[in-house]
Structure 1
Amino acid sequence: MTETVRHADPSAPAVRWGTETVEEAYLGHPGRQYRDRPRSVLQMLDTVPQWAERAFIVQGERRIRYGTFLAAVDEGAAILERNGVVPGSRVLLFAYNSPEFVLAVWAIWRAGGVPVMGNRWWSQAEIDNAMALTHPVVALTDFAGLEAGAARRVMLSELSPAFDAAPGVPGHRSERHEGGEDDVALVIFTSGSTGVPKAVSLSQRSVIANQHNLLLRSRQLPQDLDPEAPQTVSLVCTPLFHVGGVSNLITQPIIGGRLVLNEGKFDPVQVLQIIEREGVHRWGGVPTMAGRVLEHPDLEKYDLSSLRSFPLGGAPLSPQLLDRLRSKLPQLERRGLANTWGMTESGGFITVAGNRDLAQRPGTVGSPYPIAELRIDNPDEHGVGEILVRCPTVMTGYVGLEDDATVDGDGWLHTGDLGHLDEDGFLYLDGRSKDIVIRGGENIACRHVEQALLEHPDVYDVAVVGVPHADLGEEVAAVVVLRAGAEPTSEMLRDFVKPRLAYFEVPSRWFLQRDELPTLPGEKVDKRTIRAELEARLGGGSAR
């Protein structure tokens, strides 16, 4: 299904997205930036009027045009303002993917507010923590049971009429709150290695620079687009509240692409149906999703010939999965595959590897984008050390942790990931110094899960680690040391932590014991030994 623009606006784009990089200080430290760039997130909407008649968002039977969307952004901002949002206000967005979610992000920006991206899978305890950290004035949600505390709860459905009440393409409202490059544009949460989710603060500079990198890499800088060319169609199944999801809801308006959202939980058959029906050109996600689709027995029944780009990230990409992608989708053999690396704290993607890179350098996650700098800190004899990143995309810090040193005074982000660089500057990952599990693309702080289990009166000690899983990449395993005389079952412990954790954080492998956990010198728990023993014991067996 292809749509073209019949009436392009010759005045668009108003802002040039350049290719030349310069050494230019920001936030008091040196770095690289693009010389010509947008200076506010709202300037990224300047290309939208020329796409007025195109479909922008598709979900199920719903199809929303760009003209309708642009007008709805103004109306949505007015609705938020009537609920107390003023420039600088934080608005918690706690919802699943939907057209209203996309509208909400842009409407918050249009009102001068700051979207705070809540994880829709959180427990109420994690919601309360997010509220206490960020102090939103409004909680915008699709969950009627949300306890919003001091924030005003507004159902996301209250934005729906904005789509119906906005015919045509209006001009911008006069009170356009642009802000400055270093002003906060977005707060997004990530699992740290020490406990509950942390609130990452990203500036307007960060959000724009990440998009600039992606557009340059994909040869889609706005001034180079042909407004009469067929529309690009992208399928998004990953949560829009993740940093990768945010880039999807921004990229499409800039390039006039169609954003197709799946409905409900991830379903391989639904994905196959959507690709065929919408003629999807680009579908990416975490490797777990790709594996489920490629292994589905009905794969061959669907026409997937429209696919020409399949970027993957969020978890390590195995050579076996790459081989299956090339075999099942032969049109991607020469072009269209990509592996990326980045994190919430880096504000998005830092490196990228294309088809040739993946073939010539197995295991690489690619080379850095033009404005990204990489450094390996304290490398060992094999060149392996902690990966440090400096880039305009990097966070300004964690909300509520002003003395945190994750970003040092020279602008280097200490990622907690271990890696090495080859002679050509391509990055390889060698593990994680941070104590996390990556389950199906979701980062899980082991300490957070351990603290929840330690609240149980029968638990003396616990170690949470990740163990390999054929589908999810990793799953959560808990080794629990019970108190003398205690006899809880794994089911009892699972039921105890469910209200305290997101569903994906609840351990799926349980090992209950009386013996002490193994330790290293200094009494630190030896998780490497624990993980190795569990992998040997599991051998593909079922959860206990």
Structure 2
Amino acid sequence: MRWLKTLAGGGGAISDEEEKKLNEILAKCHATVEYTVGYGMTELGATVCTNMNRCNQSGSLGIPLPKVNVKIINPETEEELGYGEKGEICFSSPSIMQEYVKDIKETEKAIWIKNGEKWIHTGDLGYVEKDGFLYFAGRIKRIYITRGADGIVYKLFPDRIENVLKKCKGINQAAVNVVEDEKRVHVARAYIVVDDSYECYSDQIEKVLQEELPEYAVPERINIIKNMPVTEGGKIDYRKLKNYEK
């Protein structure tokens, strides 16, 4: 595969382990490039942030393209955050949309102007490291308030649980939904697609979850499913996961 010039992906994150395996396959096939990831959204017109073959940081979304600025803000106060601090990802770019057609309210929610510069809310959580690389940390809409066994209120991040599950041997795909239990407390439920080695590692998976996640984030139930439901765009269809309950 020496002829391959680039291999890029977007639309949904893959795990670090999946990226590592893909790059190992590329190397075995004598490719001179690695898998690269970028970030874009319809409201921004195209890709605004990306890794490149000679500037690739595994696990990141890359660095902003020319004339594109990124900032991380506190979703509640809109205060700009520093390096390594998680908050909402916002972009300023010449390609930002003008408006949502016939929807002034949604346009005003998405876009704001500061010091003459036009910015857009992405609805995604992330952080920027000192080297300028941007990292994805989940969707703001997928943050839930829950209560631990100690009675203290915590924020529950399904994406974090998914990332832990994806690292476990025997699991090919993982998705997490959050539902209310009989006490009206938000709890996580996991859905996994497994391979033939799962039975050998099933006991270890529970141990990994206990070690890497706080008590309130450990899924109360893990459903093994044959195929992960996806949307027409190829992303996990979380609304259909409830149809796979045991």
TM-score (norm 1): 0.27
Corresponding residue number in structure 2 for 1:183:
none
Residue 539 to residue 516, structure 1, CA distance change in 2 (3 Å) = closer
More strand by share: 2
Kept in 1, the 8 Å contact 2:7–2:33? The answer is no
- Aligned-partner SS, 2:104: coil
Q: Identity rate of aligned residues, in percent?
A: 25
Cα displacement (A) at 1:412? 0.2
Corresponding residue number in structure 2 for 1:242:
none
Corresponding residue number in structure 2 for 1:318:
15
Paired residue for 2:179, among 479, 483, 489? 479
Residue 474 to residue 344, structure 1, CA distance change in 2 (3 Å) = farther
CA distance in 2, matches of 1:362, 1:474: 22
Kept in 1, the 8 Å contact 2:64–2:70? The answer is yes
Cα displacement (A) at 1:380? 6.8
CA distance in 2, matches of 1:313, 1:349: 9
Corresponding residue number in structure 1 for 2:38:
340
Residue 530 to residue 473, structure 1, CA distance change in 2 (3 Å) = closer
CA distance in 1, matches of 2:30, 2:124: 29
Amino acid across the alignment from 1:402: I
**Alignment coverage as a number of residue pairs:** 169
Cα displacement (A) at 1:420? 1.7
Corresponding residue number in structure 1 for 2:111:
407
- Aligned-partner SS, 2:112: coil
Deviations 1:227-281 (A, max 9, x none): xxxxxxxxxxxxxxxxxxxxxxxxxxxxxxxxxxxxxxxxxxxxxxxxxxxxxxx
Please give the residue correspondences for 1:185-264 in structure 2 after superposition, counting only pairs within 5 Å.
none
CA distance in 2, matches of 1:426, 1:478: 30
CA distance in 2, matches of 1:322, 1:471: 13
Residue 350 to residue 332, structure 1, CA distance change in 2 (3 Å) = farther
CA distance in 2, matches of 1:472, 1:392: 37
CA distance in 1, matches of 2:178, 2:71: 34
Paired residue for 1:517, among 165, 169, 184? 184
Cα displacement (A) at 1:430? 2.2
Please give the residue correspondences for 1:68-217 in structure 2 after superposition, counting only pairs within 5 Å.
none
CA distance in 2, matches of 1:479, 1:421: 31
Cα displacement (A) at 1:535? 5.1
Cα displacement (A) at 1:370? 0.4
CA distance in 1, matches of 2:55, 2:21: 17
CA distance in 2, matches of 1:535, 1:347: 38
Paired residue for 2:50, among 352, 357, 365? 352
Cα displacement (A) at 1:369? 0.6
Cα displacement (A) at 1:367? 0.5
Residue segments in structure 2 that go unaligned for 5+ positions in a row = 74-78, 145-157, 190-212, 226-243
Residue segments in structure 1 that go unaligned for 5+ positions in a row = 1-303, 437-445, 447-464, 481-512, 519-525
CA distance in 2, matches of 1:535, 1:418: 21
Cα displacement (A) at 1:471? 5.0
Cα displacement (A) at 1:516? 3.6
Amino acid across the alignment from 1:479: V
Kept in 1, the 8 Å contact 2:71–2:91? The answer is yes
Deviations 1:424-464 (A, max 9, x none): 3211122221339xxxxxxxxx9xxxxxxxxxxxxxxxxxx
Deviations 1:367-423 (A, max 9, x none): 011021111223279422211101122222222321332111341001121222222
Corresponding residue number in structure 1 for 2:141:
434
What's the Cα RMSD here? 3.3
CA distance in 1, matches of 2:30, 2:101: 41
Residue 435 to residue 396, structure 1, CA distance change in 2 (3 Å) = farther
More helix by share: 1
Larger-gyration structure (1/2): 1
**Matching of residue 369 in structure 1 with residue 65 in structure 2:** yes
Residue 517 to residue 398, structure 1, CA distance change in 2 (3 Å) = farther
TM-score (norm 2): 0.56
